[in-house]
Amino acid sequence: MNLSITPGINNVGAYINDIDLKILNKEQAKEIKNILNQFGVVFIKKQNLDPESYQKFAKDIGQPVVYPRLRGLDIKFPFINVIERKPSDKNLSFGSSWLHQDTSYLANDRPRYTMLMGIEIPSGQGNTIFSSGFNAYEKLPQDIKDKIKSATGVFSSAGPIAVTRLEREKEMGIKSSESMEAEHPIVKTVKGKKTLYVSPGHLIKIKNVKEEDAEYLKDYLIKHVNKEEFIFSYEWSKNDICLWDNLSILHMASEIKNCKRVMHRITIK
Ligand SMILES: [Fe+2]
């Protein structure tokens, strides 16, 4: 590995140091993707990318996906969504209050990665909370690991976090779609390491476990991934980029009150 990295707090993800994404070569892009898959989330500071370079970087990582429920930046940049919080906004921040893994309610061709860039950042609030599915899985007691070995989760867009999406749909004038549901194994393997895929914001049921254990395991795992020891509360600066793998990293927004914040978001397959 040639790039310099520093682990995040509680060993959640890694900072990639001393890199300018504007002049990224193919080899460095490959290495970033490797670090991303291995650590789950990468933090790349001081980038100041124009929309063109930002969208180009997303294409170096994979195939960007159009996300219709958020406002697009410009017709020229169909993959960049604007997440804007205004000082007068009173509703819950998009993606707040529940740890989740983006679009877990879709079947197998769902986007795997999510990327945010800080455009306008208020000081002292609006952290993004990350939790490592790798670390959380590793610390599970063996009897729980045994119980969930073949378990699947039922994930629904109408799960607890739906309230923040419904508010976006109202803003966009989109008629609320039927809820979407998908089933996935809750233990996944990425680069040879097991990770928890339990998206508490969407998880409605655990299957393929003993019937009498299902509810208990659901509550247990949700509490488990929320434990302080697996969390990194990331404080943003303008021009920071966070890029995460939804298979191994859970995240949520935190509340923002009485100030403006703008982020540019791209989801990637
Ligand atoms: Fe999210």
Can you give the CATH number for the domain in which 45 is found? 3.60.130.10
**Span from the CA of 30 to the centroid of ligand 1 (angstroms):** 25
The total domain count for the chain is 1
- Residues belonging to the chain: 269
Tell me which residue range forms the domain holding 141.
4-268
Give the amino acid at 45: K
**The pair of three-digit structure tokens given for residue 263, joined into one six-digit string:** 């982020």
Q: Is the model's pLDDT at 167 over the cut of 80?
A: no
Q: What is the mean pLDDT of the chain?
A: 93
Confidence of residue 1 (pLDDT cuts 50, 70, 90): low
- Residue 247 CA to ligand 1 center (angstroms) comes to 12
> Which residues place a Cβ less than 5 A from the ion ligand 1?
95, 102
Percent with pLDDT over 90 in the chain: 80
* 102 alpha carbon – ligand 1 mean position (Å): 5
Starting at the edge strand that comes first in sequence, how are the strands of the sheet with 128-132 ordered?
Answer: 231-234, 128-132, 249-253
199-211 pLDDT per residue, tens: 999 999 999 999 9
The alpha carbon of 98 and the centre of ligand 1 are apart by a number of angstroms equal to 9
Res 170 pLDDT > 80: no
Query: Which of 108, 34, 118, 106 has the alpha carbon at shortest distance from 67?
Result: 106
User: From the CA of 162, how far away is ligand 1's center (Å)?
Assistant: 11
- Cα 14–Cα 129–Cα 84 angle in degrees, nearest 5: 110
This prediction's pTM:
0.94
Ligand 1 centroid to Cα of residue 250, in Å, is 8
Distance 61 CA to ligand 1 centre (A): 19
CA of 210 to the centre of ligand 1 (A): 31
253 CA → ligand 1 middle, Å = 7
